[in-house]
Structure 1
Amino acid sequence: MNTENPGCLTGVARAIALVIVLPVRLVWDALAYCLKQLWRWILAPIGRTLGWLIHHLIVIPLRWLWEWLLVPVARALWWLVDLLVVTPLTWLWRWVLRPVGKALWWVVDLLVVTPLTWLWRYVLAPVGRVIGAVLAWAWDIAGRISRAVGRAVGWVLWNAIGRPLAWVYRVILTPVGHWLRTWVWAPVAAVARAVRAAAREVRLALFGGSG
């Protein structure tokens, strides 16, 4: 066989492809046909039957139950609630509670709020202002008296205690201190320095060393 002929190679390739693809296509067509027949003769009738059963056994009864039982019962219950609860409460609020509340508020305003307002405005507030002013005046006067008393007590303490102590310190203690410092502490300090110097000299003479 001449392998250089393109037409011959194409024919051989097509034959091989046909041998491989043909069984797959046959199986595919057979499967598609079987599925089509299964849908047409089994699945579709079963689905239509199930749909008919669901519609007639569930949907229609539920619709009938909703239209002829639940809705009428709900309307009847709402009518009873409106008749026995809403309407009496509305009437009670409109003709009893609200008028009674208004009357009570009028009584409270007349007997409590208005007298308390008048009492505060014309009695308590003015009296409070007067008492505040009096207390402020008394506090100021008490402060002035306290400062005057403080100055008087300070003057008495200074003249009774401070001034004599100052005179004793200035006239007696200060000259005595100066005399003691000049004639007692200074000689004692000089003697102490001389004794320390003599002791140092003796120590150096006996033991030697630098000190």
Structure 2
Amino acid sequence: MELEKRPAQPQRQATPEGCLAVAIRIPVRIVVLVLVVPVRMVWDALVAAGRVLRDTVLRPFGRALVWLGRALFVWPFVGLWRYVVVPLGQALGWLGNVLVVVPLRWLYRYVLTPLGHALAWVARGIGAGLAWVYGRVLTPVGHAVRWALRGLGAVLGALGLGIFGVLAWLVRHLVLVPVGWLYTWVLTPVGHAIAWCARGLVWTLGMIVTGVGTALYWGSRVLFVLPALALWRWILVPVGRVLAVVGREVADALGHAWRIAGHISLAVGRFLGTLLRWIFVEPVRWVYRTVLTPVGHVVRDLVLRPAAEAARSVGRATRQALAAARESVRQARADFRRMVFGEPGQSQKVDRREPTGAETRTLGSSTTALTKD
């Protein structure tokens, strides 16, 4: 049952209502209330049963499952990790350090490092030798080869300049001049004519497409758009507004009916609780208070207390008898020991000249060794 206070909802602005909303509001609310009250009462009964089931069955069962899951899965793995995996990992780490890291460190420090220094010294010597060969031998040889190639290139350039000049004059007068004349006086006019024809063809096709598109536009507008617009404006919009009013009223009616059904369900629940209390709880309480309690007091005073006192008396007598029997057995054992082994010897006290306890110092006594009596 919804006993909690609902948060304040923002009030809607009052809008003028038509006669249709006023005409359908009361019948719709009456019908919805008649239909919603049984549903709300069943819902509240299911909610109460669910809460009782949750508090009495599901929550203890869930706690038991959680404890069982911890006992079966969490605690064994925690113990395995804490008492097996961690010590084993520490032991393996120590073994790896002793068997792998320390030997590799020793190998690196005392074998590989001196060997690397020796190889570096050898490499530096080889590099110095190669640098001397490069600077003293290869560089002069390269300069000489470059000077020879540069002279050979100058000779070949002087020979090829005349040949390439003749070839260039022939190519210009035999190829480039005829091709330029052909492009200027033949290909350019032909291209202009083709471009003009293409523009005319494109304009013609554009006019045809424009006319066809205009016809299709007006045909589709007259055949589809205007009827659809009229259908939307004069049929669907009024019907939608009516349906919106009906839906809003039905939603408001459902909200009011659900709240009213909640109050009715709360009243019915309280009535049933009071009826159950006066039919079962109060008679049981009256019987317990007026009948069972005096009878219990009488039984306690006349039966239970005398029986408890008698039981305590029997217990005390039994404990005394057992204590007397134990004392008799102890005396008999002591007499038998004296008869067989004789009296035990008395220990002699030895004067240790030590004070037995702290004494109060007075004017006539002293605690020093020289002034002791």
Q: Report TM bin, short chain.
A: 0.5 to 0.7
Within a 5 Å distance, the mapping from 1:121-200 to structure 2 comes to: 121=241, 123-174=242-293, 183-184=303-304, 191=311, 194=315
> What RMSD, in angstroms, separates the aligned Cα atoms of the two structures?
4.6
Structure 2 equivalent of residue 36 of structure 1: 158
Q: TM (normalized to structure 2)?
A: 0.36
Aligned to 1:151, the other structure's residue is in SS state helix
1:112 matched to 2:260: no
Q: Write the letter of the residue equivalent to 1:136.
A: G
Deviation at 1:158, TM superposition (A): 0.5
Structure 2 equivalent of residue 80 of structure 1: 201
Give per-residue Cα distances to partners, 1:9-31, cap 9 Å, x unaligned.
xxxxxxxxxxxxxxxx9x97896
Work out the CA distance in 1 between the residues paired with 2:236 and 2:172. Answer: 81
Work out the CA distance in 2 between the residues paired with 1:148 and 1:50. Answer: 116
Q: Write the letter of the residue equivalent to 2:188.
A: E
Identical amino acids, percent of aligned pairs: 27
Deviation at 1:125, TM superposition (A): 2.8
Work out the CA distance in 1 between the residues paired with 2:255 and 2:203. Answer: 68
Deviation at 1:71, TM superposition (A): 5.5
Give per-residue Cα distances to partners, 1:11-63, cap 9 Å, x unaligned.
xxxxxxxxxxxxxx9x9789646533430x20222233345555257666677
Q: Write the letter of the residue equivalent to 2:229.
A: D
Work out the CA distance in 1 between the residues paired with 2:263 and 2:229. Answer: 48
Deviation at 1:144, TM superposition (A): 2.1
Deviation at 1:102, TM superposition (A): 2.8
Q: Write the letter of the residue equivalent to 1:48.
A: W
1:90 matched to 2:210: yes
Work out the CA distance in 1 between the residues paired with 2:169 and 2:262. Answer: 109
Give per-residue Cα distances to partners, 1:82-128, cap 9 Å, x unaligned.
424x222111112x12212332322211123432112223x223333
Structure 1 equivalent of residue 188 of structure 2: 67
Q: Write the letter of the residue equivalent to 1:144.
A: H
Q: Write the letter of the residue equivalent to 1:98.
A: Y
Unpaired runs of at least 5, structure 2: 1-146, 331-373
Q: Write the letter of the residue equivalent to 1:127.
A: V
Q: Write the letter of the residue equivalent to 2:213.
A: W
Larger radius of gyration: 1
> Higher relative contact order by CA 8 Å / sep ≥ 6: 1 or 2?
2
Work out the CA distance in 2 between the residues paired with 1:156 and 1:114. Answer: 60
Q: TM (normalized to structure 1)?
A: 0.58
Structure 2 equivalent of residue 6 of structure 1: none
Structure 1 equivalent of residue 16 of structure 2: none
| Distance change >3 Å, CA 46–CA 148, structure 1 → 2 | same
| Distance change >3 Å, CA 76–CA 154, structure 1 → 2 | same
| Distance change >3 Å, CA 30–CA 119, structure 1 → 2 | closer
Aligned length: 177
